Amino acid sequence: MLKKIILGGLLIVFSGILIVGAVNRTAARGGETSSTQHEQTTQAVEQRGGRNGAGGNVEASVTEWQTVIGTVSSVDASYLEITLSDGRSVEVGGRAWQLAVAQNFTANVGDSVTVHGFDENGVFQAGQIDNQSNGQSLSLRDTTGRPLWAGRGRS
Protein backbone atom coordinates (compact mmCIF):
# COMPACT_ATOMS: atom_id res chain seq x y z
CA MET A 1 0.00 0.00 0.00
CA LEU A 2 2.78 2.43 0.96
CA LYS A 3 4.62 1.50 -2.25
CA LYS A 4 1.57 2.51 -4.37
CA ILE A 5 1.26 5.85 -2.56
CA ILE A 6 4.94 6.70 -3.09
CA LEU A 7 4.82 5.65 -6.75
CA GLY A 8 1.63 7.68 -7.32
CA GLY A 9 3.19 10.72 -5.65
CA LEU A 10 6.33 10.48 -7.79
CA LEU A 11 4.19 10.20 -10.94
CA ILE A 12 2.26 13.34 -9.98
CA VAL A 13 5.47 15.29 -9.19
CA PHE A 14 7.13 14.18 -12.45
CA SER A 15 4.04 15.13 -14.49
CA GLY A 16 3.88 18.50 -12.76
CA ILE A 17 7.54 19.22 -13.53
CA LEU A 18 7.01 18.40 -17.21
CA ILE A 19 3.93 20.62 -17.43
CA VAL A 20 5.61 23.56 -15.67
CA GLY A 21 8.68 23.17 -17.94
CA ALA A 22 6.53 23.16 -21.06
CA VAL A 23 4.61 26.25 -19.94
CA ASN A 24 7.84 28.11 -19.11
CA ARG A 25 9.43 27.19 -22.44
CA THR A 26 6.36 28.29 -24.37
CA ALA A 27 6.21 31.57 -22.44
CA ALA A 28 9.93 32.22 -23.01
CA ARG A 29 9.60 31.65 -26.77
CA GLY A 30 6.38 33.61 -27.19
CA GLY A 31 6.75 36.09 -30.05
CA GLU A 32 10.33 35.05 -30.82
CA THR A 33 11.27 33.41 -34.11
CA SER A 34 14.76 32.28 -34.89
CA SER A 35 16.29 33.68 -38.06
CA THR A 36 16.75 30.18 -39.46
CA GLN A 37 13.08 29.37 -38.92
CA HIS A 38 12.13 32.69 -40.56
CA GLU A 39 14.35 31.99 -43.59
CA GLN A 40 12.88 28.50 -44.01
CA THR A 41 9.36 29.92 -43.83
CA THR A 42 10.22 32.62 -46.38
CA GLN A 43 11.71 30.04 -48.76
CA ALA A 44 8.66 27.81 -48.46
CA VAL A 45 6.31 30.74 -49.13
CA GLU A 46 8.26 31.83 -52.20
CA GLN A 47 8.36 28.29 -53.57
CA ARG A 48 4.59 28.10 -53.26
CA GLY A 49 4.29 31.30 -55.26
CA GLY A 50 4.83 34.22 -52.92
CA ARG A 51 2.93 36.16 -50.36
CA ASN A 52 -0.55 37.57 -50.65
CA GLY A 53 0.70 41.11 -51.25
CA ALA A 54 -1.15 42.65 -48.31
CA GLY A 55 1.68 44.73 -46.88
CA GLY A 56 5.00 43.15 -46.03
CA ASN A 57 8.33 43.81 -47.63
CA VAL A 58 8.98 41.09 -50.19
CA GLU A 59 12.50 40.99 -51.51
CA ALA A 60 14.12 38.73 -54.05
CA SER A 61 17.79 37.89 -54.20
CA VAL A 62 18.55 38.21 -57.92
CA THR A 63 22.08 37.17 -58.75
CA GLU A 64 21.73 36.82 -62.52
CA TRP A 65 18.79 37.10 -64.92
CA GLN A 66 18.35 34.16 -67.30
CA THR A 67 16.31 33.77 -70.47
CA VAL A 68 14.73 30.43 -71.31
CA ILE A 69 12.90 29.60 -74.53
CA GLY A 70 10.55 26.70 -74.90
CA THR A 71 7.16 25.37 -75.81
CA VAL A 72 4.09 25.31 -73.58
CA SER A 73 3.52 21.68 -72.64
CA SER A 74 0.74 22.17 -70.10
CA VAL A 75 -1.42 25.06 -68.95
CA ASP A 76 -4.38 25.51 -66.63
CA ALA A 77 -5.67 28.03 -64.10
CA SER A 78 -2.94 27.23 -61.56
CA TYR A 79 0.26 26.91 -63.59
CA LEU A 80 2.04 27.09 -66.94
CA GLU A 81 4.60 24.41 -67.76
CA ILE A 82 7.20 25.05 -70.43
CA THR A 83 9.43 22.37 -71.94
CA LEU A 84 12.83 23.69 -72.99
CA SER A 85 14.82 22.45 -75.99
CA ASP A 86 17.13 20.44 -73.72
CA GLY A 87 14.15 18.57 -72.23
CA ARG A 88 14.06 20.41 -68.89
CA SER A 89 10.79 21.89 -67.69
CA VAL A 90 10.13 25.30 -66.17
CA GLU A 91 6.93 25.98 -64.29
CA VAL A 92 5.31 29.35 -63.72
CA GLY A 93 2.77 28.95 -60.95
CA GLY A 94 1.45 30.38 -57.73
CA ARG A 95 1.05 34.13 -57.47
CA ALA A 96 3.09 34.74 -60.63
CA TRP A 97 0.66 32.75 -62.76
CA GLN A 98 -2.34 34.19 -60.90
CA LEU A 99 -1.13 37.68 -61.86
CA ALA A 100 -0.64 36.60 -65.48
CA VAL A 101 -4.16 35.16 -65.66
CA ALA A 102 -5.61 38.28 -63.97
CA GLN A 103 -3.84 40.41 -66.62
CA ASN A 104 -5.45 38.29 -69.38
CA PHE A 105 -2.18 36.68 -70.44
CA THR A 106 -2.98 33.61 -72.52
CA ALA A 107 -0.94 30.64 -73.62
CA ASN A 108 -1.96 27.40 -75.26
CA VAL A 109 -0.22 24.05 -75.47
CA GLY A 110 2.28 24.28 -78.33
CA ASP A 111 2.83 28.06 -78.06
CA SER A 112 6.43 29.23 -78.24
CA VAL A 113 7.32 31.29 -75.14
CA THR A 114 10.32 33.12 -73.73
CA VAL A 115 10.62 33.54 -69.97
CA HIS A 116 13.07 35.94 -68.35
CA GLY A 117 13.78 35.10 -64.73
CA PHE A 118 16.30 34.08 -62.12
CA ASP A 119 17.17 31.18 -59.88
CA GLU A 120 16.25 31.64 -56.21
CA ASN A 121 17.05 28.83 -53.79
CA GLY A 122 17.03 26.30 -56.61
CA VAL A 123 13.67 27.43 -57.99
CA PHE A 124 13.32 29.38 -61.25
CA GLN A 125 11.36 32.59 -60.62
CA ALA A 126 9.72 34.11 -63.70
CA GLY A 127 10.10 37.87 -64.13
CA GLN A 128 8.61 38.29 -67.60
CA ILE A 129 6.76 36.03 -70.02
CA ASP A 130 6.66 36.61 -73.77
CA ASN A 131 4.35 34.52 -75.93
CA GLN A 132 5.76 34.60 -79.46
CA SER A 133 2.71 32.78 -80.82
CA ASN A 134 0.24 35.54 -79.98
CA GLY A 135 2.55 38.52 -79.32
CA GLN A 136 1.64 38.95 -75.64
CA SER A 137 4.25 40.05 -73.12
CA LEU A 138 3.78 40.46 -69.37
CA SER A 139 6.11 41.59 -66.60
CA LEU A 140 5.71 39.71 -63.32
CA ARG A 141 8.61 41.26 -61.37
CA ASP A 142 10.52 44.53 -61.45
CA THR A 143 14.21 44.74 -62.40
CA THR A 144 15.29 43.95 -58.83
CA GLY A 145 13.19 40.77 -58.81
CA ARG A 146 10.48 42.16 -56.55
CA PRO A 147 7.08 40.60 -57.38
CA LEU A 148 4.61 43.05 -58.92
CA TRP A 149 1.76 41.31 -57.08
CA ALA A 150 3.35 42.15 -53.72
CA GLY A 151 2.02 45.70 -53.54
CA ARG A 152 4.12 48.71 -52.70
CA GLY A 153 5.69 47.35 -49.51
CA ARG A 154 6.94 49.43 -46.63
CA SER A 155 9.03 52.53 -47.04
Q: What is the pLDDT of residue 122?
A: 84
Q: How is residue 150 annotated by DSSP? A: G
- Report how far residue 34's alpha carbon sits from residue 12's, in angstroms, rounded to the nearest whole number: 34
Q: What is the pLDDT of residue 60?
A: 60
Residue type, 46: E
Per-run averaged pLDDT (10 residues), the chain, 155 residues? 89 87 76 44 42 44 85 93 92 91 93 92 90 94 86 59
| CB neighbourhood size of 46 (10 A) | 20
Kindly report the pTM of this predicted structure.
0.58
- Collect all residues with Cβ–Cβ distance below 8 Å to 145 and sequence separation of at least 6: 59, 60, 61, 62, 118, 120, 125, 127
Q: What is the pLDDT of residue 50?
A: 42
Q: What is the pLDDT of residue 68?
A: 92
Q: What is the pLDDT of residue 124?
A: 87
- Report how far residue 24's alpha carbon sits from residue 33's, in angstroms, rounded to the nearest whole number: 16
Q: What is the pLDDT of residue 71?
A: 96
